[in-house]
A and B are shown apart, each in its own frame.
Chain A
Amino acid sequence: MAQLFPKEHVLGFIGSIILTIAALSVVQFDVSLTAGLVILWVTALAQASLQLVLFMHIGETDDKGSIYVITLYSVVIGLVTVFGSLFAMIWGY
């Protein structure tokens, strides 16, 4: 029976709900802008890794090398797009 119980999925499900509630606390409670941003960044990164590891099963197959490369590539492009936009539209304007 123990093997049949999807422990990782249940833990992941609970974890993702906790992380969502933690992120929601930023609007529910009166926190400063810096603290709010820190909470959001930390919970967002934790949430993304949790989803990738527990539900998307990253790193469990033989082609994990290419999956890591493409994930890194996505992260780079995402960051470039966000910070490039901030650079062009806010900081450098």
Chain B
Amino acid sequence: MFTKMTMSEVFAPLKEPLIMGTAIGILVGVIAVVAGLTYFKLWGWLYTNYVKTVDHKKIGVMYIFVALLMLFKGGVEALLMRAQTAVPDNKLLNSEHYNEIFSTHGVLMIIFVAMPFLFGLFNVVIPLQIGARDVAFPRLNALSFWLFAMGAVLINVSFIIGGSPNAGWTSYFPLAGIEFNPGVNNNYYAWSLQISGLGTLMTGINFVTTIVKMRAPGMTWMKVPMFTWSSFIANIIIVFAFPVLTVALVMMTMDRQFGTKFFATEDGGMDMLWANIFWVWGHPEVYIVILPAFGVFSEVISTFARKNLFGYGSMVASMIIISLLSFLVWAHHFYTMGQNVAVNGVFSITTMLIAVPTGVKIFNWLLTMRHGRITFTTPMLYALGFIPIFTIGGVTGVMLAMASADYQYHNTLFLVAHFHYVLIPGTVFGVLAGYHFWWSKIFGFQLKDSIGKVGFWLIAIGFNVTFFPMFILGLDGYARRMYTYSAETGYGTLNMISFIGALVLALGFLALCYNIYYSVRHREELKVTGDPWDGRSLEWATHSPVPEYNFAVIPKISRLDEFWFAKKEGRDLQAGEIKDIHMPNDSAAPFWQSVVMGLASFFFVFNEIGIAIILGIVTLLFMAYRSFEIDNGRHIHVEEIEETERKLKETERQLRGDR
């Protein structure tokens, strides 16, 4: 039953010059990083400050760092795809390599870019917004991050060792089954999503608990800032949806590696059951990545329009409705599977219903800006760009929702254009807005606004040039995932335009990276106080960079946007007696447990069941150790807090005096 690969098969992907080149590049990069860390003697610093940390802010930074790395990889894949299809009959990539690239592009962008970027923002912002000292389970939080990181490592390793997933990010059976796909490619899919999915599930539980239990005194539900609300709903969806993915992936693994027939085409198996279960998770997943971004836009728009959010109650209500509706629409992903009109009719209606609460939110943002005094900063530009572009995505979504019309659009580039028009202005603009908005909270200096704006315009224009032609191509019948086409089809021109747009998008990404470099170099000039944007919610009430304990004194809340009103009334929210602060201890166990679990998954991928089981037992030992470990945390003493506060206040006074 367990087929093992020979070494030459394992390293077969390296025969491809492009992959060999990448592998050498990665090797050189790793050697450079290792040499750099050794030369500057930074290993100890890295280990104690980041590997062992349970601090939500540092974990958030690591999430965003990994997300940016993966964005680079996913972006390179996108460029390769656009380059391959830019001209007819192109020979840049062969069909197998193209399959692998579009499959990992999808997996990376959803699971390893959108999710961690959002988790990074959750980690950095939510405890600050609700006035908490950390998340509810700091150690679990570290485990979540490292499990996710191991999943990311696994999917990236797949390119070089054994071959990466090649059946699309949806990995439909029977194509993804062992019969048509005997290699390890889709084992990687199952295991890397499995361990990162476990991390995600734990994050969901962690943040639901944090938001339910750890809000500052007086912060009742209708006084919770909108980003925290939207993340709360997203985390609830995570808790309900991710177990479905876990089970589906276990069934996939059983089918591929242990000879079961859940999704087989014979012996009572049902291949379309995979599509069904996948989308039971997959559709709520869409809302998991979009709702927190909506929350970021709500914060950004209300801050830079200098008005309170219009229709707070309707925003909350529409998100709750979206969370329920998100579980009622999944079959619209396979209208053409062969079910009858009644099924398609029901799922058409539920799908169109989702446009209603989303529309409510769009109008709320527009009305928040009405009569506002808008300042055009980088985050605000992303929020403003989001509204019209996302609306195009939403309207084409309603077009796709009509089952009978979907027979025309199904599996064409029209669909590809639609979901990029939703995910990029929605999620990507959202996280980038949040990234520019909250950067100073972590580092104490801001990103250079003018470079940020250049980045925004490159991304916004590049995005439309890349994806708008795809609507037309799709209506002309260009099927998605097609690796090449002949010149007679006439698809060449629009594909070339799309490729040029992709290059502009790449320039936008370079602008983002250059901005980090520039801002770090000029950090003294870009230094700001704790409240650079004249903010409204609690995260701006503390200093930048945020001290380890977040708030010296936990503020008391009496209304929404308490900090804003406190500023108007000249109150200090952190007035009061400073007491000893209880904080969690750092621990390296989550990291090492994740390494062991990552290795176990790696050996499972290659059917090395013996080694995998031993590593699985080691994982259980880690958990047993944790159960018996006595860890009461530690205290930061009053003198230390007063000293830190004095220094931070001194810096803030200087900054205010300077400008």
Chain B neighbourhood of A81, CB < 8 A:
244, 280, 327
Question: Do A80 and B327 touch across chains, with their CB atoms under 8 A apart?
Answer: yes
Chain A nearest Cβ from B158, distance in angstroms: 30
| Contact across chains for A85 and B280 when beta carbons are under 8 A apart | yes
Shortest distance from the beta carbon of B172 to any chain A beta carbon, whole Å? 14
Verify if B273 is at the interface (C-beta below 8 Å from A).
yes
Q: Tell me if B489 counts as interface (CB < 8 A to partner A).
A: no
Q: Report which of A76, A80, A89 forms a contact with B276, defined as CB distance below 8 A.
A: A89
**B346 contacts which of A73, A74, A85, A87 (Cβ < 8 Å)?**
A87
CB nearest to B329 among chain A residues: A84
**Within B263-298, which residues are at the interface with A (CB < 8 Å)?**
270, 272-273, 276-277, 280
Residues of chain A lying within 8 A (CB to CB) of residue B630:
none
Say yes or no: is A92 at the interface (Cβ < 8 Å to chain B).
yes
Residues A88 and B240 in contact, CB atoms below 8 Å apart: no
Q: Which residues of A contact B207 (CB under 8 A)?
A: none
* B331 and A88 within 8 A (CB): yes
Report which of A66, A74, A84, A93 forms a contact with B330, defined as CB distance below 8 A: A84
Mask: chain A, 60-73; 1 = CB below 8 Å from B; 0 = not? 00000010000001
B338 at the interface (CB under 8 A from A): yes
Docked Cα-Cα span, A89 to B324, in Å, equals 21
Partner of A92, one of B280, B328, B340: B340
Kindly state whether residue A77 has any CB partner on chain B within 8 Å. yes
Interface size on B, residues (CB 8 A): 21
Interface of A is mostly: helix
Whether the pair A89, B330 counts as a contact (CB closer than 8 A) is no
**Minimal beta-carbon separation of A64 from chain B (angstroms):** 14
**Cβ–Cβ contact A80 & B343, under 8 A:** no
> Which residues 320-342 of B have a CB within 8 angstroms of A?
324, 327-328, 330-331, 338-340, 342
Choice from A77, A85, A93 contacting B240 with Cβ under 8 Å: A77
**Is the beta-carbon distance between A74 and B339 smaller than 8 angstroms?**
no
Asked whether A92 lies within 8 Å of B343 as measured between CB atoms, the reply is yes
> With the chains together, A81 CA to B273 CA distance in Å?
12
Q: How many A-B residue pairs have CB under 8 A?
A: 40
* Nearest-neighbor residue (CB-CB) of A86 within chain B: B276
Chain A residues near B272: list those with CB within 8 A.
89
Taking CB atoms, residues of chain B closer than 8 Å to A93 are 338-340, 343
Binary per-residue interface labels of chain B (297-327) against chain A in the complex, 1 for a CB within 8 Å, 0 otherwise: 0000000000000000000000000001001
* Whole-angstrom distance between the Cβ of A66 and the nearest chain B Cβ: 8
Q: Which residue of B lies closest to A76 (CB)?
A: B324
**CA–CA, A8 and B277, complex, Å:** 38
Is A80 a contact of B342 with CB atoms below 8 Å?
Answer: no
B273: chain A residues at CB < 8 Å are 85, 89
Partner of A80, one of B270, B328, B339: B328
**Which range holds the interface residue count of chain A?**
10 to 19
Chain B residues with CB under 8 A of A92: 339-340, 342-343
Q: Which of B244, B324, B327, B343 contacts A88 (CB 8 A)?
A: B343
**Cα separation A40 to B566 with both chains bound (whole Å):** 59
Instruction: Annotate A38-53 by CB proximity to B: 1 below 8 A, 0 otherwise.
Output: 0000000000000000
Which residues in A have their C-beta under 8 angstroms from that of B343? Answer: 87-88, 92-93
- Complex Cα spacing A73 to B321, Å: 12
Contact B339–A88 (Cβ < 8 Å): yes
Across the interface, which residues of A come within 8 angstroms of B270, CB to CB?
A: 89
CB B268 to nearest CB in A, in angstroms, measures 13
A85 vs B279: C-alpha distance in the bound complex, in angstroms?
A: 11
A73 partner residues in chain B, CB cutoff 8 A: 324
Q: How far is the CA of A74 from the CA of B327 in the complex (A)?
A: 11
The complex places the Cα of A84 from the Cα of B212 at a distance, in Å, of 31
Whole-angstrom distance between the alpha carbons of A89 and B278 in the complex?
A: 13
- Over the window 426-466 of chain B, the binary record of Cβ atoms lying under 8 Å from chain A Cβ atoms (1 yes, 0 no) is 00000000000000000000000000000000000000000
Nearest-neighbour CB distance to chain A for B34, whole angstroms, equals 47
What separation, in Å, do the CA atoms of A66 and B339 have in the docked complex?
Answer: 38
Name B270's closest neighbour in chain A (CB-CB).
Answer: A89
User: Assuming A74-B240, A93-B338, is B328 touching A88 (CB within 8 A)?
Assistant: no
Q: Chain B contacts of A85 at CB under 8 A?
A: 273, 276-277, 280
Residues of A within 8 A of B277 (CB): 85
B339 pairs with A84, CB closer than 8 A: no
CB-defined contacts of A77 to chain B, threshold 8 Å: 240, 324, 327
Q: How far is the CA of A87 from the CA of B342 in the complex (A)?
A: 9
A80–B338 alpha-carbon span in the complex (Å) = 21
* CB proximity of B232 to chain A, nearest CB, Å: 12
A88 touches B338 (CB 8 A): no
What 0/1 pattern do residues 225 to 249 of B give for CB contact below 8 A with A? 0000000000000001000100000
What separation, in Å, do the CA atoms of A89 and B272 have in the docked complex? 8
Q: Which of A73, A80, A84, A93 has the most CB of B within 10 A?
A: A84
Q: How far is the CA of A77 from the CA of B340 in the complex (A)?
A: 23
A84 to B347, CA, bound (A): 10
Chain B residues closer than 8 Å to A87, beta-carbon distance = 343, 346
Within 8 A of B (CB), among A19-50: none
In the assembled complex, the CB of B40 is this many whole angstroms from the nearest CB of chain A, namely: 50
Q: Are B328 and A84 within 8 A (Cβ)?
A: yes
Residues of B within 8 Å of A89, CB to CB, are: 270, 272-273, 276, 339
Q: How far is the CA of A74 from the CA of B343 in the complex (A)?
A: 23
* Bound CA span A88–B275, Å: 11
What separation, in Å, do the CA atoms of A73 and B324 have in the docked complex? 9
In the bound complex, what is the Cα–Cα distance between A87 and B344 (angstroms)?
Answer: 10
Whole-angstrom CA separation of A92 from B328 in the bound complex: 16
Of chain A, the residue at the smallest CB distance from B320 is A73
Residues of A within 8 A of B (CB): 66, 73-74, 76-77, 80-81, 84-85, 87-89, 92-93
Nearest 7 interchain pairs by C-beta: A92-B343, A88-B331, A92-B339, A92-B340, A88-B343, A93-B339, A77-B327
Provide 6 A-B residue pairs closer than 8 Å at the C-beta atoms, listed in order of the A residue. Answer: A74-B240, A81-B280, A84-B331, A85-B277, A85-B280, A88-B347
Name 20 extra pairs, CB < 8 A, besides A80-B327, A92-B342. Answer: A74-B240, A76-B324, A77-B324, A81-B244, A84-B280, A84-B328, A84-B330, A84-B331, A85-B273, A87-B346, A88-B331, A88-B339, A88-B343, A88-B347, A89-B270, A89-B273, A92-B343, A93-B338, A93-B339, A93-B340
